[in-house]
């Protein structure tokens, strides 16, 4: 069983009460089924928040620790250009999220939300401290007995590894991927790592937005939704609420993008900020060219809330 928070505490010699972006045990058996919050409590946290130190502060002067933190997006680093073939791997892993990973959690507690996990995505801990995740394009199922890891070949084989009965539908959402149980899954390791980095980057900036939001914003927990395959949080008062998230790409957008999606009508032209039918997006190319992701999200929040 991989315990991200315990690993982080070990890295700092147990000197701090730490928070990380990944889910950690124990599993909870009562709603809302979240064991820990990256932006609540803690002496060292992955966001800039009054009364706590950032991981970047703790890393100062320690190149090894900084590299360890950057690998887990506890310290934000620059994104890299996407490898060739990224959309193919994205589609394959989207299918695994919809038809295998989310159904494992749903079978235990009726929930489908996923999270960013190390170099990929996965479930929070559920049942008897069990977790199912994708790491570097490999499928891992872990519990108190340890991890079992296999290369992805087909959805049928993936379901067998995690003891998921067929068919795998949750009934909660209509899958957007084909779900052919025996179609080979084409997963390139470099592309899978890039996808994991994108989800880690999104978790980093979106948790910062959550940390800055006041009680009136009533921010939701950050989750990765299997049917959309995006990381998102919703926040704001009832009359000015919006979704803030990051998608790895879709039929309209071949590359990843950040987005702001107001629940109500778009607020005027806003100098061209609203550039999508659903609201606004900031492209992966713009991020590579130096666009500030938090400025984009904060601008959207300010426009929605007037």
What is the CB-side half-sphere exposure of residue 289 using CA atoms within 13 A? Answer: 5
CA distance linking residue 26 with residue 305, whole number of Å? 37
Query: Nearest-5° angle of CA 263, CA 218, CA 273?
Result: 40
pLDDT on residue 90 = 98
- pLDDT, tens digit, for every residue of 54-68? 999 999 999 999 999
What is the mean pLDDT of the segment spanning 177-202? Answer: 96
pLDDT on residue 91 = 97
* Burial (CB count <10 Å: 0-12, 13-18, 19+), residue 131: buried
What is the mean pLDDT of the segment spanning 260-276? Answer: 87
DSSP letter at 72 equals: T
Strand partners, 257: 247, 283
CA distance linking residue 232 with residue 303, whole number of Å? 18
Average pLDDT for the chain: 94
CA distance linking residue 43 with residue 268, whole number of Å? 42
Indicate the length of the chain as a whole number: 306
Binned at pLDDT 50, 70 and 90, residue 28 comes out as confident
Query: Nearest-5° angle of CA 212, CA 77, CA 114?
Result: 65
Domain residue spans in the chain?
4-71, 86-189, 197-305
Q: Is the pLDDT of residue 137 over 80?
A: yes
Nearest to 263 by CA among 294, 234, 297, 284: 234
What is the mean pLDDT of the segment spanning 39-56? Answer: 95
pLDDT on residue 167 = 74
- pLDDT, tens digit, for every residue of 65-105? 999 999 999 999 999 999 999 999 999 999 999 999 999 99
C-alpha 192 chain-centroid distance: 14
CB atoms within 10 A of CB 117: 27
Q: How many angstroms separate the Cα of 79 from the Cα of each of 69, 197, 278?
A: 15, 8, 25
pLDDT on residue 27 = 86
pLDDT on residue 2 = 87
In the numeric block, the tokens 């079978």 are attached to: 107
CA distance linking residue 240 with residue 161, whole number of Å? 44
- What is the side-by-side order of every strand in the sheet holding 138-143? 115-117, 120-122, 131-135, 138-143, 146-151
In the numeric block, the tokens 């990843």 are attached to: 256
CA distance linking residue 125 with residue 35, whole number of Å? 8
What is the mean pLDDT of the segment spanning 224-252? Answer: 96
pLDDT on residue 129 = 92
Cis ω before 29 (30° cut-off from 0): no
CB atoms within 10 A of CB 235: 23
Strands 242-247 and 44-45: unpaired
CB atoms within 10 A of CB 31: 9
Secondary structure of the chain: what % helix, strand, coil (to 5)?
Answer: 35, 20, 50
């Amino acid at each position: 069983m991989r315990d991200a928070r315990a690993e982080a505490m070990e890295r700092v010699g147990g000197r701090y009460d730490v928070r990380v972006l990944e889910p950690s045990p124990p599993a909870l058996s009562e709603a809302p089924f979240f064991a820990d919050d990256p932006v609540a409590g803690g002496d060292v946290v992955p966001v800039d928040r009054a009364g706590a130190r950032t991981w970047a502060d703790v890393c100062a002067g320690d190149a090894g620790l900084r590299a360890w933190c950057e690998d887990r997006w506890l310290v934000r680093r620059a994104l890299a250009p996407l490898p060739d073939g990224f959309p193919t791997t994205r589609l394959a892993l989207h299918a695994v999220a919809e038809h295998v990973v989310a159904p494992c959690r749903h079978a235990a507690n009726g929930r489908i939300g996923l999270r960013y996990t190390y170099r990929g995505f996965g479930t929070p801990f559920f049942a008897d401290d069990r977790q199912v995740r994708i790491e570097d394009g490999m499928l891992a199922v872990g519990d108190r007995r340890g991890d079992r890891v296999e290369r992805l070949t087909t959805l049928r084989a993936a379901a067998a590894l995690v003891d998921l009965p067929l068919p795998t539908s949750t009934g909660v959402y209509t899958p957007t991927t084909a779900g052919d149980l025996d179609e080979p899954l084409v997963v390139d390791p470099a592309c899978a790592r890039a996808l994991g980095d994108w989800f880690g980057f999104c978790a980093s900036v979106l948790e910062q937005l959550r940390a800055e939001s006041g009680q009136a914003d009533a921010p939701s927990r950050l989750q990765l939704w299997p049917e959309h395959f995006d990381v998102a949080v919703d926040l704001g008062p009832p009359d000015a609420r919006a979704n803030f998230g990051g998608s790895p790409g879709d039929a309209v957008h071949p590359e990843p993008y950040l987005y702001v999606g107001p629940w109500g009508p778009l607020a005027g032209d806003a100098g061209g900020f609203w550039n999508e039918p659903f609201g606004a997006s900031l492209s992966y190319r713009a991020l590579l060219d130096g666009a500030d992701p938090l400025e984009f999200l904060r601008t959207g929040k300010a426009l929605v809330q007037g």
